[in-house]
A and B are shown apart, each in its own frame.
Chain A
């Protein structure tokens, strides 16, 4: 693996650092203090749009699949991982609140027809104003076990009728559209899943409720319901044949994954922020003279560096289109725990200053816990790893 960062990535890093220092860190602290997400009309989002951020990776040419490398203007998945770490170093909550198609984009790109890509992503090519899209899989009764979702989809003429409840969808109440996963037959498990683009204002889509979280308050995690929500059949991503085809390729799918190392890298960034803040505090108070403090800080630096390299390796494999399921899960299993350790130790060193509830390290301590939960908990990652390492069966044993 090459340890050098390319010039484009380094240039983007500098841009993020400037944005981070000037806007992201203060906005994140403000949202945390006020206990509410940064409102969609905040001038920061307009600035991002003016800077050309928050755009789609879609090429604009129907049928031309965007290469990850081109899409992110640099070195592919590894570049994404590096930049994600830097964004989260400044504020992970604010990073998720950035305008753009967000997590709604990958399913439209991977499953959508050329017409659907044109319809839903064109507004994100050169957006006139901050626009968001969202993704909704998780339900009150189904998190890691996605096969257990209960939101139903029933065909009626030119429409599908959706009924159910979705939880914790980022940016959902401000989104132009939400990719909603529903099942046509719960007994089929994942094979029964269908993905729909549900547009804002569709009758039956409602009850938006911004959840109150322990941390990461800068972006909205929103629950909503679908009550006899009639979605045009044209909004089913792909078509019925697409899903029939996909069922046949089960197992061949997903031989590499670039999302888990990205989430893991965000945890590394948050851990690094905790390390730097703790170091600054330790310097200011002359605590580095003691080897007890140095030893623990050393361990945090070391474990974060190892976690970062695990993220890089998984992303590097994804760039080479080589199988990385083990490595992607390994990064995701390791990094959040290390980052939490960084924040926990930071609080130790701060002592009662950490107890005040107004220090960045205390905020990071709350923020970072989410990273071991989203995109597959640490336990799920170990199960995925064990499938690769010891052929852990998918049935009773797990």
Chain B
């Protein structure tokens, strides 16, 4: 149901205006209102806070639909985005009430999540200082910083310098200089940080699935229309096979994303604590696959359209840039590869079929 709502909204209001949003660096105000009225803004918030209380699986469905129309708009429209997850993991309802709910009521407000592994921001005497080279936003009301073992938020001293941005321009693009109060000090917990990162990766991975689906679908349809050497180019076997492999890449990535979401939701049902039952590894794996598949599918989408693909009259070049930019978020593929690979150290039979023997393996 929520998937159909998202699909119809994306089809009617996002896809036809993607280039307009891109050049305006933002989404038209009435589209923001529609998005909120449909209940998409508080998808994963508890009902008590005015949300729909849906889980990770629903999130992957919605994100795929929105990103298949316009991934930049998907980011622009969600005031919380993946910044939601550290708030839930570390602060619970109180943190959501303090930080998330106010953003929902402020038109165009944005929270941004920074995964800070190096770290790039230093925190001394309760202040966070440093520079984030790129955030996909022109406005940041709340910065949520996630590290391996802790999280904190910054809501003052956020200075933005607008950038052109490689992609996702509908959401904006800025360098973010931070010099503000970091609070609270006691959000420290490795399992909670892993839980938040797992959900955040799934959020971005499902956007990637949407982007590559759009590219695969569009180029497939184009290849059936375009004629060369006496037949539709799709009927030349080199392209017929490529189009088949692109479809496999999209479906394989989507199944990994959905299975990872299922693991997160199942863990949420089973335990009060944010305990994840192999979910963290599955989400890192899904992110990685989504990134690799998207970077196979979207450049080939351009390739199938040939010279037209390179022109901005067609959307395929935009999807190629979006796939590249999205897969740079949250530490990108190398951080995901590191996390997914480390899970091999503790797991003797990583793909054993009997779930009973697996329940303890991935728990933090």
- Chain A: residues with CB nearer than 8 A to chain B? 1, 3-5, 10, 13-14, 17, 82, 85-86, 272, 275-276, 279-280, 288, 291, 294-295, 297-298, 301-310, 313, 326-327, 330, 333-334, 379, 382-383, 385-386, 389-393, 397-398
**Chain B interfacial residues counted at CB < 8 A:** 42
Check B351 against A305 for contact (C-beta < 8 Å): yes
Partner-contacting stretch, out of B67-75, B147-155, B237-245: B237-245
Partner-contacting stretch, out of B8-16, B186-194, B311-319, B353-361: B353-361
Given known pairs A85-B353, A390-B220, the reply for A385 and B244 (CB within 8 Å) is yes
Check A86 against B353 for contact (C-beta < 8 Å): yes
In Å, the complex CA distance between A305 and B262 comes to 14
Check A294 against B342 for contact (C-beta < 8 Å): yes
Given known pairs A3-B262, A397-B237, the reply for A305 and B256 (CB within 8 Å) is yes
Check A275 against B356 for contact (C-beta < 8 Å): no
Check B341 against A291 for contact (C-beta < 8 Å): yes
Question: Which residues of chain B are within 8 angstroms of A309 by Cβ–Cβ distance?
Answer: 252, 255-256, 259
Given known pairs A3-B262, A13-B353, A306-B252, the reply for A389 and B341 (CB within 8 Å) is no
Check B241 against A382 for contact (C-beta < 8 Å): yes
B175: shortest Cβ distance to chain A, in Å?
Answer: 30
In Å, the complex CA distance between A275 and B356 comes to 20
In Å, the complex CA distance between A258 and B288 comes to 30
Given known pairs A276-B349, A294-B341, the reply for A330 and B235 (CB within 8 Å) is no
Check A334 against B252 for contact (C-beta < 8 Å): yes
Question: Which residues of chain B are within 8 angstroms of A275 by Cβ–Cβ distance?
Answer: 350-351
Q: Residue among B252, B256, B338, B356 with the most chain A CB within 10 A?
A: B252
Given known pairs A295-B337, A389-B243, A390-B223, the reply for A310 and B255 (CB within 8 Å) is yes
In Å, the complex CA distance between A370 and B251 comes to 25
Closest B residue by C-beta to A333: B248
Given known pairs A3-B259, A294-B341, A298-B341, the reply for A308 and B244 (CB within 8 Å) is no
In Å, the complex CA distance between A334 and B234 comes to 20
Does B224 reach chain A (CB closer than 8 Å)? yes
Question: Which residues of chain A are within 8 angstroms of B276 by Cβ–Cβ distance?
Answer: none
Check A298 against B340 for contact (C-beta < 8 Å): yes
B285: shortest Cβ distance to chain A, in Å?
Answer: 5
Check A393 against B351 for contact (C-beta < 8 Å): no
In Å, the complex CA distance between A4 and B356 comes to 11
Check A302 against B353 for contact (C-beta < 8 Å): no
Contacts A298-B340, A390-B224 known; list 11 others, CB within 8 Å: A10-B356, A13-B353, A17-B354, A275-B350, A295-B337, A298-B344, A301-B350, A306-B252, A330-B248, A385-B244, A390-B243
Question: Which residues of chain B are within 8 angstroms of A389 by Cβ–Cβ distance?
Answer: 220, 234, 240, 243-244, 247
Check B354 against A302 for contact (C-beta < 8 Å): no
A sample of 26 inter-chain contacts (CB < 8 A) reads A3-B259, A5-B355, A17-B354, A275-B350, A276-B350, A276-B351, A294-B344, A294-B345, A297-B341, A298-B285, A301-B340, A301-B351, A302-B289, A303-B252, A306-B255, A306-B289, A309-B259, A310-B255, A330-B244, A330-B247, A333-B245, A334-B252, A382-B241, A386-B240, A389-B244, A390-B235
In Å, the complex CA distance between A288 and B288 comes to 19
Contact of B351 among A13, A308, A383 (CB under 8 A): A308
Check B256 against A302 for contact (C-beta < 8 Å): yes
Does B272 reach chain A (CB closer than 8 Å)? no
Does B253 reach chain A (CB closer than 8 Å)? yes
In Å, the complex CA distance between A390 and B258 comes to 26
